Amino acid sequence: MMTKRKPVAKKPGAKKKAPPGLGLWMVKQEPEKYSWDDFVRDGRTDWTGVRNFQARNNLRQMKVGDSVLFYHSSTGKCVVGIAQVAKAAYPDPTADDPQWVAVDIKPVKPLNEPVLLASIRYHPKLSNLPLIRQSQLSVMPLTKEEFETILTMGAGKKGKK
Protein backbone atom coordinates (compact mmCIF):
# COMPACT_ATOMS: atom_id res chain seq x y z
CA MET A 1 0.00 0.00 0.00
CA MET A 2 2.89 2.39 0.41
CA THR A 3 5.85 3.58 -1.56
CA LYS A 4 9.08 5.13 -0.36
CA ARG A 5 9.22 8.90 -0.83
CA LYS A 6 10.28 11.94 1.11
CA PRO A 7 7.48 13.67 3.08
CA VAL A 8 6.15 17.00 1.89
CA ALA A 9 4.24 19.90 3.51
CA LYS A 10 2.23 19.37 6.70
CA LYS A 11 -1.54 19.17 6.77
CA PRO A 12 -3.43 19.28 10.07
CA GLY A 13 -5.25 16.05 10.92
CA ALA A 14 -9.00 15.72 11.21
CA LYS A 15 -10.80 15.38 14.52
CA LYS A 16 -9.99 12.26 16.47
CA LYS A 17 -12.64 9.69 17.34
CA ALA A 18 -10.42 7.73 19.71
CA PRO A 19 -10.67 8.32 23.45
CA PRO A 20 -8.46 11.08 24.93
CA GLY A 21 -4.78 10.30 25.06
CA LEU A 22 -2.68 8.57 22.51
CA GLY A 23 -4.29 6.57 19.74
CA LEU A 24 -3.64 2.91 19.03
CA TRP A 25 -3.44 1.68 15.45
CA MET A 26 -2.54 -1.17 13.16
CA VAL A 27 -1.05 -0.79 9.69
CA LYS A 28 -0.78 -3.61 7.18
CA GLN A 29 1.99 -4.07 4.67
CA GLU A 30 3.02 -6.85 2.33
CA PRO A 31 6.48 -7.92 3.50
CA GLU A 32 7.53 -8.60 -0.10
CA LYS A 33 7.14 -4.87 -0.79
CA TYR A 34 8.26 -3.43 2.56
CA SER A 35 8.96 -5.67 5.55
CA TRP A 36 9.54 -4.97 9.23
CA ASP A 37 13.27 -5.55 8.59
CA ASP A 38 13.22 -2.91 5.81
CA PHE A 39 11.44 -0.55 8.20
CA VAL A 40 13.99 -1.10 10.97
CA ARG A 41 16.86 -0.64 8.51
CA ASP A 42 15.37 2.68 7.33
CA GLY A 43 14.60 3.88 10.87
CA ARG A 44 11.53 5.79 9.70
CA THR A 45 9.19 5.77 6.72
CA ASP A 46 6.39 7.72 5.16
CA TRP A 47 3.16 5.73 5.00
CA THR A 48 1.98 6.69 1.52
CA GLY A 49 -0.14 5.18 -1.21
CA VAL A 50 -3.31 4.62 0.82
CA ARG A 51 -6.30 4.98 -1.51
CA ASN A 52 -9.16 3.71 0.64
CA PHE A 53 -11.41 6.40 2.17
CA GLN A 54 -11.78 4.73 5.56
CA ALA A 55 -8.03 4.06 5.83
CA ARG A 56 -7.38 7.67 4.77
CA ASN A 57 -9.71 8.94 7.49
CA ASN A 58 -7.81 6.79 9.99
CA LEU A 59 -4.50 8.28 8.82
CA ARG A 60 -5.97 11.76 9.36
CA GLN A 61 -6.71 10.86 12.98
CA MET A 62 -3.19 9.67 13.78
CA LYS A 63 -1.20 11.95 16.08
CA VAL A 64 2.51 12.16 16.82
CA GLY A 65 3.30 9.65 19.58
CA ASP A 66 0.42 7.27 18.78
CA SER A 67 1.37 3.58 18.95
CA VAL A 68 1.10 1.44 15.82
CA LEU A 69 1.21 -2.34 15.38
CA PHE A 70 2.98 -3.38 12.16
CA TYR A 71 1.22 -6.30 10.44
CA HIS A 72 2.67 -8.39 7.62
CA SER A 73 -0.17 -9.12 5.20
CA SER A 74 -0.28 -11.73 2.42
CA THR A 75 2.89 -13.63 3.40
CA GLY A 76 3.10 -14.39 7.10
CA LYS A 77 -0.17 -12.75 8.12
CA CYS A 78 1.05 -11.68 11.53
CA VAL A 79 1.78 -8.71 13.75
CA VAL A 80 5.56 -8.40 13.96
CA GLY A 81 6.38 -5.13 15.70
CA ILE A 82 5.47 -1.88 17.38
CA ALA A 83 5.95 1.49 15.72
CA GLN A 84 5.11 5.07 16.61
CA VAL A 85 3.65 7.95 14.61
CA ALA A 86 6.50 10.40 14.00
CA LYS A 87 4.63 12.94 11.84
CA ALA A 88 0.86 13.51 11.65
CA ALA A 89 -1.12 13.55 8.41
CA TYR A 90 0.16 15.61 5.47
CA PRO A 91 -0.61 15.54 1.73
CA ASP A 92 0.50 12.25 0.17
CA PRO A 93 3.31 13.07 -2.28
CA THR A 94 2.43 9.96 -4.34
CA ALA A 95 -1.13 11.18 -5.02
CA ASP A 96 -2.40 13.52 -7.73
CA ASP A 97 -5.41 14.39 -5.58
CA PRO A 98 -4.88 16.44 -2.38
CA GLN A 99 -7.56 14.48 -0.49
CA TRP A 100 -5.07 11.64 0.10
CA VAL A 101 -2.73 11.85 3.08
CA ALA A 102 0.33 10.13 4.50
CA VAL A 103 1.92 9.91 7.95
CA ASP A 104 5.46 9.11 9.03
CA ILE A 105 6.11 6.24 11.39
CA LYS A 106 9.23 4.94 13.08
CA PRO A 107 9.97 1.48 14.51
CA VAL A 108 9.96 1.04 18.29
CA LYS A 109 10.63 -2.67 18.77
CA PRO A 110 9.83 -6.08 17.32
CA LEU A 111 7.50 -8.42 19.16
CA ASN A 112 9.23 -11.39 20.83
CA GLU A 113 6.97 -13.67 18.81
CA PRO A 114 4.90 -12.85 15.73
CA VAL A 115 1.17 -12.86 16.48
CA LEU A 116 -0.44 -14.91 13.73
CA LEU A 117 -3.77 -14.04 12.18
CA ALA A 118 -5.02 -17.50 13.13
CA SER A 119 -4.34 -16.73 16.81
CA ILE A 120 -5.96 -13.31 16.52
CA ARG A 121 -9.03 -14.63 14.72
CA TYR A 122 -9.96 -17.03 17.52
CA HIS A 123 -9.13 -14.89 20.55
CA PRO A 124 -12.37 -13.77 22.25
CA LYS A 125 -11.00 -10.31 23.08
CA LEU A 126 -10.14 -9.72 19.42
CA SER A 127 -13.41 -10.78 17.78
CA ASN A 128 -14.31 -7.19 16.80
CA LEU A 129 -10.86 -6.29 15.52
CA PRO A 130 -11.09 -4.50 12.14
CA LEU A 131 -8.41 -6.92 10.87
CA ILE A 132 -11.03 -9.68 11.14
CA ARG A 133 -14.17 -7.70 10.26
CA GLN A 134 -12.69 -5.59 7.43
CA SER A 135 -9.81 -7.63 6.09
CA GLN A 136 -9.03 -5.20 3.23
CA LEU A 137 -8.57 -2.19 5.53
CA SER A 138 -4.88 -1.22 5.64
CA VAL A 139 -4.95 1.32 8.49
CA MET A 140 -7.22 0.68 11.46
CA PRO A 141 -7.85 1.91 15.00
CA LEU A 142 -7.53 -0.47 17.94
CA THR A 143 -8.99 -0.35 21.41
CA LYS A 144 -6.65 -0.40 24.40
CA GLU A 145 -7.79 -3.95 25.20
CA GLU A 146 -7.12 -5.15 21.62
CA PHE A 147 -3.71 -3.50 21.54
CA GLU A 148 -2.67 -4.88 24.94
CA THR A 149 -3.99 -8.37 24.12
CA ILE A 150 -1.87 -8.50 20.96
CA LEU A 151 1.18 -7.22 22.87
CA THR A 152 0.68 -9.93 25.50
CA MET A 153 0.40 -12.57 22.78
CA GLY A 154 3.54 -11.21 21.11
CA ALA A 155 5.48 -11.26 24.38
CA GLY A 156 5.25 -15.05 24.33
CA LYS A 157 2.75 -15.22 27.19
CA LYS A 158 -0.68 -16.74 26.99
CA GLY A 159 -3.33 -14.02 26.78
CA LYS A 160 -6.27 -14.35 29.14
CA LYS A 161 -9.34 -15.69 27.40
Provide the 10 A C-beta neighbour count for residue 36. Answer: 22
User: In the β-sheet with 101-116, what is the strand arrangement from edge to edge?
Assistant: 45-47, 101-116, 78-91, 67-72, 24-29, 139-141
Cβ contacts of 41 within 8 Å, gap of 6 or more: none
CA dihedral 71, 125, 147, 77 (to 10 degrees): -10
pLDDT per residue rounded down to tens, the chain (161 residues):
555 444 444 444 433 344 457 899 999 999 999 999 999 999 999 999 999 999 999 999 999 999 999 999 988 999 999 999 999 999 999 999 999 999 999 999 999 999 999 999 999 999 999 999 998 999 999 999 999 999 999 998 554 44
Report the distance separating Cα 100 and Cα 33, nearest Å.
21
